Structure 1
Amino acid sequence: MTGVGIRTTDAYNFLADEVGGVENVGFCKSDAYNFVQRERRALIDSGDASSLSKVLQDRQSEDNMFSYDILTDEMNRLIGFLWIDGHSKIDYDCFGDVIVFDTTYRLNKYNLACAPFIVVNHHWQNIFVGGAFIATETIESFCWVFETFLRFVGGKQPTTIFTDQDQAMAAAIERTFPTSRHRLCQWHISKKAPSKVPAFNNDKVVRSLFYYCMSKCDSEIEFEKCWSDMVLRGNLEDNRWLRDLYKVRTRWSTAFNKSCLDLGILSTQRSESANNVLHGCSKATSSLVECYIGLDKLTSNWHRSEHDEDFRCKHGSVTPKIQHCHLLKHILKIYTRKSFSIFEQAYMDGAVGVCVVEESRISENHIVYATQHCESAGDLKRWFVTVDSTNFDANCSCMGFQTKGILCKHILRVYNHTNVKQIPAKYVLNRFTLKAKKGMYLSKEARPKDFDSNLVFRSHMMRFTYDLTRQIEDCKLVKEYVHTAFIEVAKKADEIVDEDEMMRKGVKDKNDKNKGLVRDPPTMRSKSQSNNRPKSHWEKTSKRKSKII
């Protein structure tokens, strides 16, 4: 029971209740604590770092797609390690366009920072795609983490990566993710704001203008105007924190990121929630092996939740809130349940809350529709939707599709206005569909228990190529193309195999040289000297008031 996060005292009390009292258990509570401690020591009998290395090696022998790396200092002490399993690599291939990365918690006796990589799957659930522990939060440490992660995922960089306001992390991202958009967590910024800018506590207008700049502005021009109004009204020209924040405005304001996919995420809360869950199965006295096992159990639970939702999508039924709507019926067959509910809400908001106030033809096939919210008829703010009448390609000035990946309510209102019955394929991202992971290599949980991983891979590839050849057998042109592509793939595979053999030989020599010599990491302290989530300005203020009372 303690292995799944139940406290020793709770487990003992449960056993006592089951057998009718502590006198019938057969051992006392101190015996239970001693047994648990012996089990914990057995996990690290050869040293915490060496035991962790052995656990990772054993996992790699079970999963041929599992990758890990250990970083040591000049005294051969462990100062960082990172791992990614086969399931995580598949998930990253499918959903690695937006990553949340955070190092808020240090849940081990060495105070190494826990740094999980979190993405959002097609059910809008948290998915763990890699984890790391590092001793120091320096540019070099973060560069090692990001470079190792990129090496394990084949060099694929995310479209957007969310982090907190750490300068070392920002510098490392600029070096290792040059094509990715780095975004800062708005939650951390909003919690600092009341203590950094006293005017926010006294003037609601100034505070509302600041939050409007964060996520409500539709353009850079609107942001600049709103920011100027806030500074002028609050007399904040000399506020140093705001000046520094303005310099990095492209990293936290949505107005400067309209062309970049972010799934509507504004903070690192998804990663912090993962750390918070881990807080229940790991504590400040936990070993590194226990931390790794705790995270592995957490990811297994998330995978199980994903499989459960896959089952509901496959065997369950969803009734649209609006009956006899061709567009909703069409998208219902494509999207997952959660993605469909988000799309349906946007459609209903557009049908009821948005009105088309003007339309003008700018060319023979292109029409511009001016839309605005029905409840604000006196408001001059409008969103302009340009539609191609030949193929129904649409573009909205709010750029909701470019950022969230699902059509905005303004375009859906225009589609409803023009009686469009089917969403163009280009506006249905595969990452939100029921077939988001179709054709991917089987995950560990989905593999037959009596088959080894190589046999499962061969079976998968044979089934994949068989389906492909059956699909193209009637088209001579495609058959020639596929045959030529297979020849090129075979040549590339030979090159990769040769490189892999050389790399494995080098890794084996290194492991043989350092086998059993990896030492436990030194005990570190975090920058904030705390293992807990940073408290907001309002939490600190309320605590001081309660003490005064």
Structure 2
Amino acid sequence: MGELYHSHAPLDINSSGSEENLISHSPEEIKLEPISFDENDACPVPRPGMVFSSEAEARFYYTKYAHQMGFGIMTRTSKKGHDGKVKYLILVCSEITRSDALRKQYCAARINLTLRKDGTYRINAATLGHSHELGSHHLLSSDIEMRGKRTLDQEVIDMGVNRISYKNECRNHLQKERHLIGENGDGEALQKYLVRMQEQDGNFFYAIDLDDFFRVRNVFWADGRSRAAYESFGDVVTVDTTCLSNRYKVPLVTFVGVNHHGQSVLFGCGLLSCEDSESFTWLFQSLLHCMSGVPPQGIITDHCCKAMQKAVETVYPSTRHRWCLSNIMEKLPQLIHGHANYKSLRNRLKNVVYDAPTTSEFEGKWKKIVEDFDLKDNKWLKELFLERHCWAPSFVRGEFWAGMSINPHSESMHAFFDGYVSRQTTLKQFVDQYDHALQYKAEKEYIADIHSSNNSQACVTKSPIERQFQSAYTHAKFLEVQHEFVGKADCNVSVASDDGSVCCYNVIEDVIIEDKPKESVVEVIYNRVDCDVKCSCRLFEFRGILCRHSLAVLSQERVKEVPCKYILDRWRKNIRRKYAYTKTSYGVQHFEPHGQRLELLCNQFNSIAAVAAEFEDTSSFVKDNLCNLKEKLETWTTLLRKSSQVDVEKSNYMID
């Protein structure tokens, strides 16, 4: 990896920097894969990140690659250190042409290598395009190859070349261009933004990855509100790489979750110069460091990016990982559009993806589609089926994913900056709009909080369980619960077995599939001792919302109140989450008086703590009194909250 600017160090993106000002990147290195060569071996395409054990090995590799492609090489630039070792080296295509002014013009193809601290040589930049036809210089390349071999020891010739990531990354390199960060005034704009944020937000975090020439390679940052929000909602994180995959001018990567209203909430942002495993690993490690070493329980990524998947395995080995379903389904029309029975095929695939309740039913219906439409040779569908445990709803429902991207109407990757970033948006423009985007999201959440706290959503049934959720959940989540209560009317319950304490029910639900009425059967097991209910549809496990089948069984059992374990704190409206009051550069205006009072009290508490901490007795005295004071304040604030009058205009104000 490159060097790393820490967020507590001053930032100068445009300066050359010095090694004394940098902190070495400590996370574990990317695993390298050796490739052994003999006379018939094909060389991988040169790319940034390839590492060689010596200068001789690097020269031999590029000589052999050039011979393979049909061009010659020569040394354009090299620089030795005090110890006599080459510190910097450029190997280029040997083709030279003459311009109209009879001046020499060199071919642009080349590799730049630098000596690393461990004595190895690393490719920092590689230009693959040639300004001439390849193949006509085969004899010249052979001659140069032989001259190069004279400088090599036999044991060096037999050594392997190390390269980053897995085999197909080199093949994909031709299709990927390195993003440029910090050009045309963008670097200065980013620098000013990061400095300003650190001045205004004491909890602001950033990290910068530099290459061996101290140029900005990757950037990560997160403000104090985003870091605090991660404590409440960082259990499931979506990695949005839309700007990378669609080649936006801003190489933006965002880490996004969902809050208690089901709204997108930002955890952090990154800028990547290259879409390789090394860059994604650095980015994920930066997020981990920013969040005090706490990894997400689940992470959702684009299924197309193998480099990102590899990085997830490296940095978050214990985290559940799945692909974004809506991202896959968005690609479905273009990948099957040419089929003769396109509409029928599309509907059948959507049906099996969204409506297959069990893994066995999914597999059976999928295979039937492949057979009916003669798709056994369709590479894309074949790969999706092989990796079905990573994305198909019937395979991922057993784990909690906060309901992210599981139905046809969920937003693609929970894009957070929609409306603020387009293909033509520059980094400078994005930085200028960044605070406005976050303020808009914070205001939208504040308005939803006001509505949930001061208005009641009417119940649709007489069930006391529905009223239990009405008083606990935010409006958005209560509407999801109500949807299940309405759907309960389509469920018919019958007892399959009953041993007194545990009862097994079959729930038959009337459903509409492809405009045709059908029946769906699920199994619900109810434990009367601890009021535990489990449904084979696994909606609660996936979304944290009790399903209609479970509600039907609870109604059959005459249960009047569900245990607290079925009312998640994640969706509650009456929890004061500290991130909402965190001081930021884009603070919500309504929270400013609260924030000012909070900052004043914190300063006073700090001064009290400084005095009390001198002795054990005074420390214990303050601690005991604070506990008593907290209990009294919680009772007092609850009464004040219930009796307070809310500005009707503000509570009814809606943001589109």
Work out whether the TM-score is over 0.5.
Answer: yes
Please state if 1:183 is matched with 2:325. Answer: no
The structure that is helix-richer by fraction is 1
**Residue matched to 1:149:** 287
| Residue ranges of structure 1 left out of the alignment (5+ in a row) | 1-43, 474-549
Mapping 1:167-246, distance limit 5 Å: 167-197=306-336, 201-202=340-341, 206-246=345-385
Give the Cα separation in 2 of the matches to 1:368 and 1:109: 53
Give the Cα separation in 2 of the matches to 1:284 and 1:205: 37
| Aligned pair partner of 1:364 in 479, 486, 500 | 500
**Residue matched to 2:232:** 94
Give the Cα separation in 2 of the matches to 1:109 and 1:211: 28
For residues 299 and 45 of structure 1, do their structure 2 counterparts lie closer, same or farther at Cα, with a shift above 3 Å needed? same
* Contact 2:248–2:423 under 8 Å retained in 1: no
Please state if 1:443 is matched with 2:579. Answer: no
Amino acid aligned to 2:542: T
The alpha-carbon deviation at position 217 of structure 1 amounts to 2.2
Amino acid aligned to 1:266: S
The alpha-carbon deviation at position 94 of structure 1 amounts to 0.7
Amino acid aligned to 2:554: Y
Amino acid aligned to 1:162: I
* Contact 2:203–2:224 under 8 Å retained in 1: yes
State the TM-score, normalized to the length of structure 1: 0.70
Give the Cα separation in 1 of the matches to 2:234 and 2:333: 34
* Contact 1:97–1:160 under 8 Å retained in 2: yes
Give the % identical residues.
Answer: 26
For residues 270 and 301 of structure 1, do their structure 2 counterparts lie closer, same or farther at Cα, with a shift above 3 Å needed? farther
Whose relative contact order is higher, 1 or 2, with alpha carbons under 8 Å and at least 6 apart?
1
**Residue matched to 1:265:** 404
**Residue matched to 1:274:** 416
**Residue matched to 1:343:** 481
Amino acid aligned to 1:87: R
* Contact 1:360–1:368 under 8 Å retained in 2: yes
Give the Cα separation in 2 of the matches to 1:104 and 1:46: 23
For residues 316 and 231 of structure 1, do their structure 2 counterparts lie closer, same or farther at Cα, with a shift above 3 Å needed? same
Give the Cα separation in 1 of the matches to 2:275 and 2:258: 25
Give the Cα separation in 2 of the matches to 1:394 and 1:90: 33
State the TM-score, normalized to the length of structure 2: 0.59
The alpha-carbon deviation at position 109 of structure 1 amounts to 11
| Aligned pair partner of 2:273 in 124, 127, 135 | 135
Q: What secondary structure sits across from 1:371 in the alignment?
A: strand
**Residue matched to 1:77:** 215
Mapping 1:37-56, distance limit 5 Å: 48-56=186-194
Give the Cα separation in 1 of the matches to 2:191 and 2:375: 53
The structure that is strand-richer by fraction is 2
User: Which digits, 9 at most, give the CA deviation of each residue in 1:172-194, with x for residues without a partner?
Assistant: 11212222222222333234334
Mapping 1:310-321, distance limit 5 Å: 310-321=449-460
| Aligned pair partner of 2:491 in 344, 354, 370 | 354
Give the Cα separation in 2 of the matches to 1:238 and 1:223: 19
RMSD over equivalenced CA pairs, Å: 3.4
Q: How many residues are aligned here? A: 424
The alpha-carbon deviation at position 357 of structure 1 amounts to 2.9
**Residue matched to 2:132:** none
| Aligned pair partner of 2:424 in 284, 288, 296 | 284
Amino acid aligned to 1:100: T
Give the Cα separation in 2 of the matches to 1:231 and 1:345: 34
Give the Cα separation in 1 of the matches to 2:381 and 2:570: 37
For residues 160 and 200 of structure 1, do their structure 2 counterparts lie closer, same or farther at Cα, with a shift above 3 Å needed? farther
Q: What secondary structure sits across from 2:217 in the alignment?
A: strand
Give the Cα separation in 1 of the matches to 2:605 and 2:362: 51
For residues 440 and 83 of structure 1, do their structure 2 counterparts lie closer, same or farther at Cα, with a shift above 3 Å needed? closer
For residues 56 and 402 of structure 1, do their structure 2 counterparts lie closer, same or farther at Cα, with a shift above 3 Å needed? same
Mapping 1:441-520, distance limit 5 Å: 442-444=581-583, 445=587, 446-448=591-593, 451=596, 455=600, 457=602, 468-469=627-628
For residues 216 and 46 of structure 1, do their structure 2 counterparts lie closer, same or farther at Cα, with a shift above 3 Å needed? closer
Give the Cα separation in 2 of the matches to 1:255 and 1:187: 15
Amino acid aligned to 1:342: E
**Residue matched to 1:124:** 262
* Contact 1:123–1:338 under 8 Å retained in 2: yes
Give the Cα separation in 1 of the matches to 2:293 and 2:541: 24
The alpha-carbon deviation at position 197 of structure 1 amounts to 3.7
For residues 145 and 455 of structure 1, do their structure 2 counterparts lie closer, same or farther at Cα, with a shift above 3 Å needed? farther
Which protein is bigger by CA-based radius of gyration?
2
For residues 458 and 213 of structure 1, do their structure 2 counterparts lie closer, same or farther at Cα, with a shift above 3 Å needed? farther
Amino acid aligned to 1:365: S
